[in-house]
Amino acid sequence: MTRSAGGPNGPRHDRFVKERRHDAYRSRGKLPEPTQCPDCGAVFHKGRWTWGETPAGAHRQICPACQRTHDRFPAGVVQVGGPFFSAHREEILNLIHNVEGLEKGAHPLHRIMAMEEGEAGVAIATTDTHLPRRLGEALMRAHGGALDFKYPEAEQLIRVTWSR
């Protein structure tokens, strides 16, 4: 009696690793090195995007963060609101910009795409999923309040809500 590789009932499908989320902005293959983004000047070198000098003859291709910004398709959204925000608006916005500056300095793809202010607060769209978490955690450390993280299954982004 001969057996198939998957046993008497056919091949085993539970061993296939399925990607939970597909990021359309992630490169399908390796970019030629070095590559420079013509919009922001970030350089792809040694497998990652960094800030630095662009070597002569560098390939030019738009980076994922600039592409998301052009497409207006954020990877993360931070909603900041509440009466405390209204009373400390400038202080909170300065904290947000400081955290983004530190993060963007180390990781060129971690940026704020847009900020929309309304009566209830501010909505911040980001180019990656790490910056929203860092912004929310910085607001909690500095001011306390309530912080909520959501990763909707149907959407490819993180939603962070902070209020106090």
CATH code of the domain covering residue 112: 3.30.70
Q: Does residue 2 lie in a domain region?
A: no
Tokens for 65, please give them: 């963060």
Q: Does residue 154 lie in a domain region?
A: yes
Q: Does residue 95 lie in a domain region?
A: yes
Q: Does residue 10 lie in a domain region?
A: no
Query: What is the rounded average pLDDT of the residues 120-137?
Result: 96
CA 13 to each of CA 6, 17, 19, 20, 78: distance values in angstroms, whole numbers, following the listed order: 9, 9, 14, 16, 38
> Which is it for the CA torsion 89, 92, 97, 100, positive or negative?
negative
Q: Does residue 110 lie in a domain region?
A: yes
Q: Does residue 97 lie in a domain region?
A: yes
Where in the sequence is the domain holding 150, given as residue range(s)? 73-163
Confidence band, pLDDT 50/70/90 cuts, at residue 25: confident
pTM for the predicted model, two decimal places: 0.82
Confidence band, pLDDT 50/70/90 cuts, at residue 55: confident
Q: Does residue 25 lie in a domain region?
A: no
Q: What total number of domains does the chain contain?
A: 1
- Residue 7 or residue 82, greater confidence: 82
Q: Does residue 68 lie in a domain region?
A: no
